[in-house]
Structure 1
Amino acid sequence: MARFARSTLLLGAIAAVAMGATACSTGGANEAAGNVSNEGGKERTLLVATGASPKPYTFQDEAGNLTGYDIEILKEIDKRLPDVAFEFQVAEFPALFAGLDSGRFDLVANNLSATKERKEKYDFSDPYIEAQFGIILPKNSSVKDVKTLDDLAGKKTYGEPGLNFTRVLEEYNAQHPDKKIEIEYTEADLQTQYKNLATGGIDFLFNERVVYNGYGGQKGLNLDFKPLDGGYLTKTFGTNLYSAYAFSKQKPDVEKNVQEINGALAELKKDGTLKKLSERFFDGVDVTPKTAG
C-alpha cells in the first residue's frame, strides 16, 4: 500500500535533514521509513523521495495529494508487488541525491535522466520515459531557428543546479569558451521561469516538450518550442533522453528491488497501463520508450 509523508526541508540544512530526519507519516508510527524485512511474509517498505516538481511528472494536487506520471506508475507497481509497499516523501531537489548517497531514501521518483555519471553512483530501473528536448523562445525572439546550441551563443537562460538540462549547457560552455551561453542559476519554480521568459527577463529556456506544454504552451504566453535533434544531444553532450527511477546502493535488497520493479514496469508496458497513464498526464501524448534505452 502506498503512503505519503510530506517533509519540508530548509535549504540551509538540506543534507543534514535528508540524511538524518525521520519521515512524518500520516499513517501512524508503524509506517517507518526504509526497508522492512520480508521475513514471515512482511512487506518491504521502500521510502520514495520526490521533489513534487515538475508537473506533470510529480506534483501535489489542489487537495495536497501527491500525484503525477512518475508517482502513479509506482502506485500501479505497488498493486502488482504484494511484498513491497511504497512510502512517499517530498524533499528539495538537492536533498534527493543526498538522501540516496546516505541510504536515507530507497529510491527517487523525479523524472531523472539515467546519465553515465549518475549510473556510477546509483542503480536505475528500466526507463519509463523517452523525452524530446528543445528550446523555448518568445515568438518575437530575434532567434528564429535553433538547430544546435551554437545558435544561442551570447543568450541568457536559467539553470537549476543538478538538472540534466543545466549540465548540458555547462558542457556546451566548456566546449565553447569564446561563445558561451549566459546561465543565471536559479531556484525559481517553473511557472516563474516561464513567465520571466515571456516578459523578457531571459532569452530562452531549455526543457522537455511535455514540461513546455504544461507551463508555457497552454498558458497564452506567446512562446514557441523548437525541438533539438536527440542524436545531436546524445553524440555531443552524452545526453540521456530516458528517465528512470534511481535507487540507493546503500540500501539492502537493492538488486531485488530493481529486479521486481523492472518486472512490474514490463507488465505495465505490455498491458497498456503505461501508455494510458502517459496520455492521462501528457494531454494524449505517449512518452513511453519506443527505442532501446
Structure 2
Amino acid sequence: MKKIRVMLLLTMLTVIGGCNDTVSTKADKDNQRVKKVVVGTGTQFPNICFIDKNGKLTGYDVEVVRAIDKLLPEYEFEFKTMEFSNLLLSLETKKIDMIAHNMAVNEERKKKFLFNDETYNYSPLYITVNKHTNDIASIHDLDGKKVIVGATSNAAVFLEKYNKQNGKKIEIIYAGQGADDANTQLKTGRADATLATPFAVDFNNKAIDAQQKVVGDIIINSKVYFLFNKEETDLQAKTDQAIRKLKADGTLKKLSKQWLGDDYSVEN
C-alpha cells in the first residue's frame, strides 16, 4: 500500500512538472513572437514629429505608428529620436529598423532601403518666404536667391536636381540648429526661401512667430512612406495591411485633420 502511495505521488509530481513545463514553454514562445521594432524619428518637424509643450513626442507620423502598433500585436514599436540627417545612416547601420519622418521615395534611397507600398500621407511642398517678401512667386524667381533646406531631405534632392538641370542658379544652403535653422534664417533675411508644407508654416507662425507664407503652386506633392531595412519584408507587408485598415476605418483621416489641418491621407 505504501509503495502504491509513493508511485501515485511520483506520478502526480511528474504531471504537475509537465504542466509547468508546458506553461513555461508557451510563455517563452509568446515572448519570442513579439518582435521589437526601433523606429527612428525626429523632434523638429512641426505637427509631424516633435516634442509638445508637455515634453511628449507626438505628431502625425508618431501617432500613425502608435495606431499601427495597436493593430500588430506581434510587434512592439519603440521610438528613437535623432537629427534628420542621421536617420538614413542609422537605418543603414541597423541602429534602427524603420524611419517615420515624412519620407518620400527617391532613387538613392530605393537603392539601399525598402519602402512600404501603401502611402499614409501626401506632403505638398510650396516655396515659403518671409511674409514681407513680395518678389518671389515661383521657382523661377529663386534664381540668384539663397534657399535653405534640410540636408538629404526630399526638398534638398529636388532642388539639387533642379539646379543641375538649370545652370545652378539657386544658392542652396543647408539648415543647422539654433540660429542656423530655416525659421531663423528666413526671419532674419539670411535666407530668401525654403520649401515647406502649409501645415508646417501655420504651426511655425503660431508657435514661434516665424512670419512665413507660402507662395505660388505646389512644387512637389510627395507621397509619404515608411522606410525599412531591405530584409524587413514581413514588417513592410504587415505595416501596409495596418495602413489599409487605418484608411478604411477613418483613423488616418482623423489623425491628418487633427495634426495637419486637413485630410492629407488622400491626394488633394
2:61 and 2:179 map into 1 onto residues whose CA distance is 18
Consecutive unaligned residues of structure 2, counting only runs of 5 or more, are 1-26
The secondary structure found in structure 1 opposite 2:92 is helix
Structural mapping, 1:6-155, within 5 Å: 40-41=29-30, 42-125=33-116, 126-146=118-138, 149-155=139-145
The secondary structure found in structure 1 opposite 2:264 is coil
The total of aligned residue pairs comes to: 239
The secondary structure found in structure 2 opposite 1:203 is coil
Q: Partner residue of 2:193?
A: 204
The secondary structure found in structure 2 opposite 1:132 is strand
The secondary structure found in structure 2 opposite 1:257 is helix
Partner amino acid, structure 2, of 1:138 = N
Task: Quote how far apart the aligned CAs of 1:98 are.
Answer: 1.1
Task: Quote how far apart the aligned CAs of 1:229 are.
Answer: 3.9
2:245 to 253, 257, 267: 267
The secondary structure found in structure 1 opposite 2:78 is strand
- Sort the Cα spacing of 1:103 and 1:218 in 2 relative to 1 into closer, same or farther, 3 A: closer
Q: Partner residue of 2:8?
A: none
Q: Is the 8 A contact 2:179 2:185 kept in 1?
A: no
2:146 to 131, 156, 160: 156
The secondary structure found in structure 2 opposite 1:99 is helix
2:209 and 2:42 map into 1 onto residues whose CA distance is 26
- Sort the Cα spacing of 1:60 and 1:262 in 2 relative to 1 into closer, same or farther, 3 A: same
* RMSD across aligned positions (CA): 2.4
1:206 and 1:47 map into 2 onto residues whose CA distance is 29
1:217 and 1:66 map into 2 onto residues whose CA distance is 19
The secondary structure found in structure 1 opposite 2:95 is coil
Consecutive unaligned residues of structure 1, counting only runs of 5 or more, are 1-37, 234-239
Q: Partner residue of 2:9?
A: none
More helix by share: 2
1:144 and 1:114 map into 2 onto residues whose CA distance is 28
Task: Quote how far apart the aligned CAs of 1:56 are.
Answer: 0.8
Q: Percent identity?
A: 30
Q: Is the 8 A contact 1:136 1:207 kept in 2?
A: yes
2:246 is the alignment partner of 1:247: no
- Sort the Cα spacing of 1:228 and 1:188 in 2 relative to 1 into closer, same or farther, 3 A: farther
Q: Is the 8 A contact 1:217 1:223 kept in 2?
A: no
1:181 to 170, 175, 187: 170
Partner amino acid, structure 2, of 1:166 = A
1:182-231 deviation line (CA, Å, top 9, x unaligned): 1222313699522431332221121222211211377655432114345x
- Sort the Cα spacing of 1:56 and 1:191 in 2 relative to 1 into closer, same or farther, 3 A: farther
Partner amino acid, structure 1, of 2:196 = N
2:255 is the alignment partner of 1:277: yes
Task: Quote how far apart the aligned CAs of 1:144 are.
Answer: 4.8
- Sort the Cα spacing of 1:66 and 1:229 in 2 relative to 1 into closer, same or farther, 3 A: closer
Normalising by structure 2, report the TM-score. 0.81
Task: Quote how far apart the aligned CAs of 1:91 are.
Answer: 1.7
The secondary structure found in structure 2 opposite 1:103 is coil
1:158-205 deviation line (CA, Å, top 9, x unaligned): 13211111121211221122x611122231369952243133222112
1:74 and 1:189 map into 2 onto residues whose CA distance is 28
Partner amino acid, structure 2, of 1:247 = F
Q: Partner residue of 2:264?
A: 287
Task: Quote how far apart the aligned CAs of 1:63 are.
Answer: 3.0
Normalising by structure 1, report the TM-score. 0.74
1:144 and 1:211 map into 2 onto residues whose CA distance is 19
